[in-house]
Structure 1
Amino acid sequence: MVCGQEIRAKIAQILALPADPSPSSTWAGGRYTCTYRLPSGALVLAVQESPDPAAARATAHSAVAALPSAAPIEGLANLGLPGYQSPAGTVAFAKDSFALTVDATGLKEPVGPHGVSRSSLAYQIATDVLACWSE
């Protein structure tokens, strides 16, 4: 999913790229990682399989916990899921037994034609992936 055509097209649309990006992917230890090498740097999406929802929540939390000013995403912005965000540009959500991490810290800021923050871009991409998961 994180390397799928729908997400590639969304990234191209959001960043006004001339073509859909071609990511590279790896699978190791129950973690699927998709790296997009974009003109402004690297955008990394990862999904970690966990044995249960509690472990997925812990994985999502640990993905951003060590970053400066990391905090839970609350209110409607958390989409009813445990979510965490760092102003540096990393967002993580837990859904069922999976933890999704979107790391935009490798991108130059501001990002894209609308000049958004890395954190805003990471959140937007994460919500696009989560929307695909619910279909």
Structure 2
Amino acid sequence: ILTIAIVYTPAMARVVRAPVLSVKQWDHVEAARSIGMSELRLVLRHILPLVVSPILVATSLTLSQTIFTVTALSFLGLGPPPPDPNWGGMLSEARQFMELAPLTVIGPAAAIVFATLTFIVLANGLRDVLEVGSVR
């Protein structure tokens, strides 16, 4: 989990950095800074509410990518040890029985597809509701 978090951190940092650099130059943020507002309050009150929508959308899309990454690593045998259940391990074990019982693959594969599509649909819904394109 730590390795996957390290891999996805730069992408999330780029997603957060771009809108923050744009928003912090807006007039109301400059006005708040000029009256002596503390940096923490400035970020929490004026910047964060305007950049939370791209962060939420990117997070939900990254969750679907993370599911695929964890599943692929588990399928290759690099995931948690066998007593712990995981979808990649289930697919790897079901691969041996595909000729005799092909339906053993459907359960874990359907769970992976359903979980991934859930996060993608959530990201699309959040993007529509929060209007990500509103940060200029």
Higher relative contact order (CA 8 A, sep 6+): 2
* Higher relative strand content: 1
- Per residue, is there more helix in 1 or in 2? 2
TM-score normalised per structure 2: 0.28
TM-score (norm 1): 0.28
Structure having the higher Rg: 2
